[in-house]
Structure 1
Amino acid sequence: MHHTPHIVGDVMTHTVIAVGPQAGFKEMVETLEKWKVSAMPVLEGDGRVVGVVSEADLLLKEEFRDEDPSHIEQMRRLNDLRKAGAVTAEQLMSAPAVTVRKDATLAQAARTMALKTLKRLPVVDSEGMLQGIVSRSDLLKVFLRTDEDLAEEIRRDVVENLFRVSRESVQVGVVEGAVTLSGSVRDTALVPVATRLVRAVEGVVDVECDLVGPGVGPTGPPDAGSLL
C-alpha cells in the first residue's frame, strides 16, 4: 500500500533553484529561463529564505519602460514602480516571503496559495531555512492515487474503525476518485460521520453515501407482503 500524502513534506520538490540577494537582473532572468520556473526564493548565505522573485516582478521593468504614469497611478503603484527600477534580487524580491512548513497539511498549503494568489511556496524549517518548494501541481498529485488505493484506505481507516460491528456489510466502491458507500449499518447516527471522514481522505473527488439501517432495503423497509 502506498503512503497517503497528507502533508507538504510528502509532495514537495526537494531540489530548488534559488538566487542570492545580490544576484543581478539579467542573472535572474537567465536562471528562470534555464530551469523553466516562474519564481524562485532568494536566500541569504546560510540558506535562510528572505524573499521570492517571480516573472511578474521582473516584467515590471518592461511594463514601465515606455510608460509615464500619472501622479495618481504612481501613488497607487509605488511598490511596482520601485521594483521596475530594481537591478538586484534584494531590491526586486517580494519580502518577507510567504512560506509553509513541511508538516503543514495539503489543505493549509492550498488555502495559503489561494488567499495570497501564489503558484508555489518555499518550504522552510523552524529557522526559516529552505527545505524544498511546493507548487499547485504538487498539491494536485493526491488526485493521481488509484481507486484501489483509496478504497483500501477507506475500508481500513473509516469503515473498520467506525463500524466495528457491521463493517462486513459495508461496501466501498471507488470510480475515478468518486466514492460510494453502500450496505447496512447498526448505528445510522454514524453515517454523516462516515461521509465526512471519507471526504477528508486525500484524493477523494466526491462521496455518495447509501448506507441504511438494519433491515432496510435500498428503497426503504420491506412491505408487509414480503414478510409473509
Structure 2
Amino acid sequence: MKNLTVSDVMTRGVLTARAGTPVKELARIMVEHRVSALPVLDDDDRLIGVVSEADVILKQGHQIPRRPHWWEPMEQRDAVRRAAGDTAGRLMSTAPVSIATGSSIPQAARLMADHGVKRLPVVDAQDRVVGVVSRHDLLKAFVRSDDDIRADVLGEVFVHLLWDDPTEVDVQVRDGVVEMVGTVDRRSTAEAAERLVRRLDGVVDVVANLGFRVDDRGLARRR
C-alpha cells in the first residue's frame, strides 16, 4: 500500500540563503517571493539553519545595540545576540527542524505541530535541502475523490494486502468517510481491514460493521 510521502507533495526549487547573506537581501527575498522563512546552507549545500521573517523583525526591534544581561531568560539573551548580527548566519536559528524525503504526511504534520512551525525543509540522505513542505502541501493528501479511495479499499486493502474476497463487503465512501458492511472469514481480517483503511490517503474516518466466520484470536492464544 503506497501512501503519499513528503517528497510527493513538497515544493521543489527552494529559495535559500547562505550564512553571509545580508539582512537586507533576506528581507527582499521574503517580500518579493512571499515566503516566511529561508533555509540557510553551507558551502556544501547542507542545511545549517533557518532564518525566518520573525528573525529579521527581531533585528528591527533591537536597533540600539546592547549586550545581553546574565539575569535575562536564556531565550531573551539569545535574541539579543542574534539581533546584533547583520547576516543570515548571525540571525538564523541553528537547530533547524527538518524532515527526510521519504517521511509520511502524518509524520510531517506531527513534527510541525510539535515545533509550532508552518513549513519544514526537506533533506536527502546527505542533509542537503531538496524541497520545502508546508501545511498547505499536506492538505494534498486529502484531495482525493471518494471513488479513488473506494478503489483502494477494495483493491489495495482487501485483495492485495488481506487476500480476502471483496465481493462480500459493501464499501461506501462519502466525503472521505469510509463505511464497510459485510462478512469476512476471520476476526483478525476484520480488525486489520479497519486499521489499514485508516492509513489510506484521504480517509477522514472509518465506520466498520464487519462480521466474521472464525474468531481466530482465541486460536492464536491457545497456540
- Partner residue in 2 for 1:127: 126
- Partner residue in 2 for 1:8: 6
Report the aligned-residue RMSD.
2.4
Output the TM-score relative to the length of structure 2: 0.85
Aligned to 1:148, what secondary structure does the other structure show?
Answer: helix
1:117 aligns with 2:116: yes
Higher strand share: 2
- Partner residue in 2 for 1:45: 43
The amino acid that maps onto 2:189 is: L
Is the CA contact (8 Å cut-off) linking 1:53 and 1:89 kept in structure 2? yes
Separation (CA, whole Å) in 2 of partners of 1:73 and 1:159: 60
Is the CA contact (8 Å cut-off) linking 2:20 and 2:88 kept in structure 1? yes
- Partner residue in 2 for 1:187: 186
The amino acid that maps onto 1:106 is: I
The amino acid that maps onto 1:55 is: E
- Partner residue in 2 for 1:167: 166
- Partner residue in 2 for 1:95: 94
Aligned to 1:186, what secondary structure does the other structure show?
Answer: strand
> Structure 1 residues 197, 18: closer, same or farther in 2, change over 3 A?
same
Is the CA contact (8 Å cut-off) linking 2:3 and 2:104 kept in structure 1? no
- Partner residue in 2 for 1:220: none
- Partner residue in 2 for 1:151: 150
Q: What is the CA-CA distance between 1:166 and the residue it aligns to?
A: 3.7
Identity level (%): 38
Q: What is the CA-CA distance between 1:65 and the residue it aligns to?
A: 4.4
Q: Flag the structure with larger Rg.
A: 1
- Partner residue in 2 for 1:77: 76
- Partner residue in 2 for 1:57: 55
Name structure 1 gaps, 5 residues minimum. 215-228
> Structure 1 residues 197, 75: closer, same or farther in 2, change over 3 A?
closer
